[in-house]
């Protein structure tokens, strides 16, 4: 392709497609903003073709809308694969400020705020401290290796590998590793 041809190419205008997909799913700008982690003002600018989103923003929007990137970029409807695979490097992760706890987000983004599941690793001395979730919310913690202490509802419980704790999280709660070895667990959050 010559340089002259490159000068005439423009990035895809995703505004109309984004708006059509959002409206077809009955989502407000506020709801899509929350699901995708993109500001409402940015979404509005994209829909009016006043801004072209970065690849990261398009990826987050496609995930929030449960569509393929190609559909959002070009308006092409693709059928979902029989088996969807997420590579290890494509699994988002969050770390505690001190770096001693890491959560790998295993659940799909479209279920965030309803049903979430994580792979939790806690280094010795680490603690995952959380504020209250919505009334009626619960966590399910299954320890895979090491041991962890759960503090919730004014109670404390030590869990060893193979054990599961289920507890209310409508108050402050914490998961701690007081041991000398790293601990791994699966954490499921059921929002009310």
pLDDT digit string, tens, across residues 130-162: 999 999 999 999 999 999 999 999 999 999 999
Name the CATH topology of 12-74.
434 Repressor (Amino-terminal Domain) (1.10.260)
Average pLDDT over residues 8-18: 72
Domain boundaries, the chain: 12-74, 91-190
Percent of the chain with pLDDT over 70: 89
Burial of 146 (0-12, 13-18, 19+ CB in 10 A): buried
- Which residues sit opposite 187 in a β-bridge? 118, 141
Confidence (pLDDT) at 185: 98
Check residue 144 and give its pLDDT. 98
CATH of domain 91-190: 2.60.120.10
Q: Which of 4-13, 15-24, 38-47 has the lowest mean pLDDT?
A: 4-13
Average pLDDT, the chain: 86
Q: Where are the beta strands (DSSP E) in the chain?
A: 93-95, 101-105, 115-122, 127-130, 138-145, 147-152, 155-160, 164-168, 173-176, 183-190
- Least confident residue range of 38-42, 71-75, 118-122, 162-166: 71-75
Asked if residues 58 and 50 have their Cβ atoms less than 8 Å apart, the reply is no
């Amino acid at each position: 392709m010559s340089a002259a041809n490159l000068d005439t190419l423009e990035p895809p205008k995703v505004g109309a497609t984004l708006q059509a997909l959002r409206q077809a799913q009955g989502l407000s700008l506020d709801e899509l903003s929350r699901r995708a982690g993109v500001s409402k003002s940015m979404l509005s600018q994209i829909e009016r073709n006043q801004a072209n989103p970065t690849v990261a923003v398009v990826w987050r929007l496609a995930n929030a809308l449960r569509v393929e990137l190609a559909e959002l970029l070009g308006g092409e409807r693709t059928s979902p694969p029989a088996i969807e695979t997420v590579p290890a490097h494509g699994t988002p992760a969050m770390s505690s400020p001190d770096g001693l706890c890491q959560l790998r987000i295993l659940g799909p983004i479209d279920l965030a705020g309803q049903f979430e599941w994580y792979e939790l690793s806690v280094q010795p001395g680490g603690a995952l401290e959380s504020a209250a979730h919505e009334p009626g919310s619960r966590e399910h913690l299954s320890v895979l290796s090491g041991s962890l202490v759960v503090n919730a509802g004014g109670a404390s419980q030590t869990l060893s590998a193979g054990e599961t704790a289920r507890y209310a999280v409508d108050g402050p709660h914490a998961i701690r590793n007081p041991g000398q070895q790293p601990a791994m667990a699966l954490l499921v959050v059921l929002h009310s």
